[in-house]
Structure 1
Amino acid sequence: MEQIKKICNFMSSNIAIFIIIFSVIAFFYPVGFAWATRYTTWFLGAAMFGMGLTIKTEDFKVVFTRPKDLCIGFLLQYTVMPATAFMLAKVFGLSADLALGVILVGCCPGGTASNVITYVAGGDVPLSVGMTIVSTILAPVCTPVLVYLLAGSWVEVSLITMMMSVVKVVLIPVLLGILIYRIFPKQINAVRELLPLISVIAIVMIISGIVGSNAQKILSCGALVMVVVAIHNVVGLCLGTGAAKLFKLDEKKVTAIGIEVGMQNSGLAISLATANFAANPLATLPGAIFSVWHNISGTLYAGIRRKYIK
């Protein structure tokens, strides 16, 4: 069991490497992975269920004991990244598909990877977890409304349909995971360290499927998307950090907020694009590339921020 835990920790800590490896394989052998796109919603649901299983009752305490910090992080989460996505889509003159994909990424809640990166950076982990929980639970309203407002000039967005999609693939699996943990805490704690493996496998399969399905199209627009995604992520990290400093928060909180703002649940962006915008197949591409990039940039950011935390 100890050996299995080490393997799980290694895979969770190096998810970016596994994403890159399987994405390259999928690019050259698309037939072996393209099938995964049919199960994107199920894979993401599994990842969110795994997240729910890891949430303890005490994790919710930060919601009630530190409302100021959470409100600052929440407002930055749902303003900085959506606004930056919209501006980048305009500045780079992106096609409807790519603009939609970038905006979807920007309007999603924080991802669970941000909690790991915050830990590596020596930041405020409880705050990071609290922000992820709050932004995820409120995503069924915030994400569809923001996409409706920002992407409406490119494509037709069905607000109610998107809300239902987020409820099905995010809210229900997370709440179900929390409920099962409440009922079987001892059993879940016994395998807690294995749970991140669920998310790793799910995200790797989602992205590999997208790459396999769009191998040829990646050749024509992959470089442009990479540039936009990198700028989007770096701007989120920098503005999130800068804004948190303006509120005179301590360095641990600044680090947690900066990471949470810059690192998105790009798996949700892919799932929403697949389920709600079948007529815009390239809308999944920004989310797939973001999943790889933000793990790399997040790790680099963590190394920089550790110097500021005593």
Structure 2
Amino acid sequence: MKFLETISKTAGKYFALWVILVAVVAYFIPAPFLPLGGYITILLGVVMFGMGLTLKPVDFQLVVKKPLPVIVGILAQFLIMPLGALLIAYLLGLSDQLAAGLVLLGSVPGGTASNVMVYLARGNLALSVAMTSLSTLLAPLATPLILLGLAGQWMPVDPLAMFLSIFQVIIVPITLGIIVQKLLPGIVEKSLEIIPLISVLAIMTIVTAVVSANAPSIRTSGAIIFVAVMLHNLLGLTLGYVAAVIMKLKEGDRRAISIEVGMQNSGLGVALATAHFGPLAALPSVIGAVWHNISGPILATYWSKKPARVDETEEKMKAG
């Protein structure tokens, strides 16, 4: 078990590198990975099941005790990212499938990797976990409705079918994870260290499946889709922080909201795009899975060297 724990920690530490590596391999040698396309939904369900195993009631206490940062973060998540994607799609003149795929990437909840980034960035980890959990639970309703309003101009959106997909891929596995955690707490506690390894392997497999299936599309789309995803991520990280500043939240909260808003659940984006829009629409989420795990660690490393300051107002009150 200790050997697996060591591998798990290593896999999590170098997650971005592994994702880039498997994406490059799948791009240049797609054939071996093409059969994996049929397992994307199952693999994402495995990741969500792992999330359910780690969720605890304490993760939601912040929503009740200090709701303002959570509300600001969730609103920023589901407003900034979809509208930002819409703006970028128009400005760059993306094709219908790519535009719909970018809006889809902006409409999914925050990814679980964001929690690690917030921790490394010395942000408010409790807020990060609460935002990830709540946005994930809201996704079955929020994501289809946002897509219907913003992406329906490019691709037909069936909100009911999308609701059912998200429910099956997110809510059911998370619920099962919580149930297993309650019934077998001892076994779950012993296996917590290897859950990141399983999640990393599942996400890497998803990336190889979609990259291999879209290798020709990646070549023909050129650099524009990479630019679109990078701009979208930068917009989320920046405006998430700005929104928290405007609401006069603490520095730790600002960092948590910035990273939570900027880092999306790319795996869910891939699964939904593949099932409802087509393989090309999954491309923004595939690139997002790679890029978010590059920009996140860069920002976290920068902030890790700068302790979160106490607000000036609090300093004055303490001095008084």
Is 1:241 the equivalent of 2:238? no
CA contact (8 A) 1:233 1:263 kept: yes
> After superposition, what is the alpha-carbon deviation per residue over 1:96-151, rounded to whole angstroms, capped at 9, x for unaligned?
11001101100000000100100111111111000001000010000000011100
Q: 2:302 aligns with which of 297, 300, 304?
A: 304
- What is residue 179 of structure 1 aligned with on the other side? 179
- With normalisation by structure 2, the TM-score equals 0.94
One-letter amino acid of the counterpart of residue 82, structure 2: P
CA contact (8 A) 2:63 2:70 kept: yes
- What is residue 17 of structure 1 aligned with on the other side? 17
Alpha-carbon distance in 2 for matches of 1:84, 1:162: 22
- What is residue 290 of structure 1 aligned with on the other side? 288
- What is residue 146 of structure 2 aligned with on the other side? 146
Deviation of residue 305 (structure 1)? Answer: 2.3
Deviation of residue 285 (structure 1)? Answer: 0.5
**Percent same amino acid at aligned positions?**
44
Return 5+ residue gaps in structure 1 as ranges. Answer: none
Is 1:199 the equivalent of 2:199? yes
> After superposition, what is the alpha-carbon deviation per residue over 1:26-72, rounded to whole angstroms, capped at 9, x for unaligned?
11211111111111110111111111111122212222212111111
1:45-56 → structure 2 map (5 Å cutoff): 45-56=45-56
Q: Secondary structure at the match of 1:248?
A: coil
> After superposition, what is the alpha-carbon deviation per residue over 1:203-228, rounded to whole angstroms, capped at 9, x for unaligned?
10111111111112211114111100
One-letter amino acid of the counterpart of residue 264, structure 2: Q
Q: Secondary structure at the match of 1:191?
A: helix
Which stretch shows the higher mean deviation, 135-144 or 16-25? 16-25
One-letter amino acid of the counterpart of residue 198, structure 1: I
CA RMSD after TM alignment: 1.1
- What is residue 77 of structure 1 aligned with on the other side? 77
> After superposition, what is the alpha-carbon deviation per residue over 1:241-274, rounded to whole angstroms, capped at 9, x for unaligned?
1110111111111100000000000111110011
Q: Which has the larger radius of gyration?
A: 2
CA contact (8 A) 2:122 2:307 kept: no
- What is residue 313 of structure 2 aligned with on the other side? none
Alpha-carbon distance in 2 for matches of 1:96, 1:36: 26
Alpha-carbon distance in 1 for matches of 2:222, 2:209: 16
1:135-284 → structure 2 map (5 Å cutoff): 135-277=135-277, 280-284=278-282
CA contact (8 A) 2:181 2:188 kept: yes
Which stretch shows the higher mean deviation, 53-62 or 163-172? 53-62
Q: How many pairs are equivalent? A: 308
> After superposition, what is the alpha-carbon deviation per residue over 1:64-94, rounded to whole angstroms, capped at 9, x for unaligned?
2121111111100100000000111111111
Q: Secondary structure at the match of 2:110?
A: coil
Alpha-carbon distance in 1 for matches of 2:250, 2:63: 18
- What is residue 119 of structure 2 aligned with on the other side? 119
One-letter amino acid of the counterpart of residue 290, structure 2: V
Is 1:65 the equivalent of 2:65? yes
CA contact (8 A) 1:251 1:308 kept: no
Q: Secondary structure at the match of 1:122?
A: coil
Deviation of residue 287 (structure 1)? Answer: 0.3
- What is residue 103 of structure 2 aligned with on the other side? 103
Deviation of residue 304 (structure 1)? Answer: 2.4
